Amino acid sequence: MPEKLEPEFTGDVVDYRIDTDDEGYILSLQNGKEIVEVLKKLIGRYRHDRKGRETKPSTSNTINHLKSTIKHINNIDESLELIPQDALAELELLSNQRVKQLFFLRSKYVREELEQFTFLINNVIGTLEQQPDKKGEKPKTYENRLLANTAMLFEQHAGFGVIKAAETAATILNNNTKPISIHKSNFPKNPSEARRTVKSTIDTYRLDCPKLE
């Protein structure tokens, strides 16, 4: 039996919290109040997107789940077909009393719908089987974009140099591991490495500095 899938995250109330000490520090900077407001939105969006990524099942798990679903559908279909005659007679009576419709007709409709479900699901399985299943560590796209956007805020709106902006951004994001569910290991601790990541991400995605509100 395939591993049971956990519910996939599809959205929730966005949590914009940041560490209170870091918030106090940013508020002391040039344009600090505006930077804090933009940073909270960046962090909230990051948390939302990361949670969606972490709960998204792999292609292979999705295929296994769909194949298991078809087996359950086939079991239901077979069970409906093999209902003993005595029980079927009682079901006909109850169905006619409750909804004024023969159980045989209701069962026929359900089985036709199940057949359609099987057809549709098999088509999706065929499509998914043509897609490569991603293996290994997932690229840190979300983390790199958050780091780059945060660094640009400090560089262009607080007057920091590029190295200090990258270092400050990485430090603040690492400090906020617990309250904002950011994984500490995803942000460089070395200032030069942080700057390289920021520059590479800006160049790759052609990012513009977030605007202050």
Per-residue pLDDT, 49: 85
- Asked whether residue 1 is assigned to any structural domain, the reply reads no
124 shares a domain with 66: yes
48 shares a domain with 63: no
Per-residue pLDDT, 139: 61
- Asked whether residue 113 is assigned to any structural domain, the reply reads yes
- Asked whether residue 29 is assigned to any structural domain, the reply reads yes
**With contact defined as beta carbons under 8 Å apart, do 172 and 182 qualify?**
no
Query: In order along the chain (213 residues), what is the average pLDDT of each group of 10 residues?
Result: 72 86 96 96 88 84 94 96 95 92 93 97 96 64 93 97 96 72 70 96 94 88
Per-residue pLDDT, 12: 78
Per-residue pLDDT, 74: 96
Pick from 197, 207, 199: nearest CA to 144: 197
88 shares a domain with 105: yes
Name the residue range of residue 29's domain: 20-54+140-205
Euclidean distance between CA atoms 146 and 134, whole angstroms: 23
Pick from 42, 8, 15: nearest CA to 26: 42
Give burial (CB, 10 Å; 0-12/13-18/19+) of 185: exposed
